[in-house]
Amino acid sequence: MTAHQDLINATASDLIARLRTEEITPLDLLDALEVRISAVNPALNAMPTLCFERARAHAKALMAKPVSERGLLAGMPVAIKDLEDVEGVRTTRGSPIFKDHIPAQSDLMVRNIEGAGGIIYAKTNTPEFGAGANTFNEVFGATVNPWDTSKSCAGSSGGSAVALASGMAWLASGSDLGGSLRNPASFCSVVGLR
């Protein structure tokens, strides 16, 4: 098993513990994710927007601090559903209206994740404005089920569920009003907390 595969197969809690002891760095995790995403995402379309340059800059700034000041997540990478603004990162909300939208500041949730030591590295696919039981939009197309690409991953947090199930994320955000976390989680065999 390669070092990258060892990291991809680990749990989020295990990796956070290893980050706190400096056995691994956030950069190690970002490297492993970049390799995994390049291998898996073309067939699944879960992560249409990547921001590894921004993530590495954030990781380096975090690593300059003592471990005790790196926050609860300690440099853990987190994928964000493409409904949430991330400063400087294309945020489409799955809509042609916002296909070129690059926000000047991050949403509160994203700021809180980064303030707790989370590293944002990707946006996950969503139906337009999060309205839909399937993860399809006219900007990026459909995200498919990681266990059978001829099947649906459900929606609206399908991109996040697929990323988790396929080893492209250890933690990912989603949203849920009528099952938008729970349905994709059940279709992809992952846990979705509302």
Supply the residues annotated as catalytic: 81, 156, 180
- In sequence order, which residues have a C-beta less than 8 Å from that of residue 74 and are 6 or more positions away? 16, 19, 20, 67, 117
Give the type of residue at 156.
S
Q: Quick check: helix, strand or coil at residue 93?
A: coil
Say how far apart CA 117 and CA 113 lie, in whole Å: 7
Give the length of the chain. 194
- Which among 101, 76, 98, 78 has a CA at the least distance from the CA of 88? 101
Concatenate the DSSP letters of all residues of 118-158 into one string.
Answer: -EEEEEE--SGGG--SS-EETTTEE-B-SS-TTSB--SSSH
Return the exposure string of 177-192: e unless at least 16 CB atoms fall within 10 Å of the residue's CB, then b.
eebbbbbbbebbebeb
Alpha-carbon distance of 25 to 22, in angstroms, equals 6
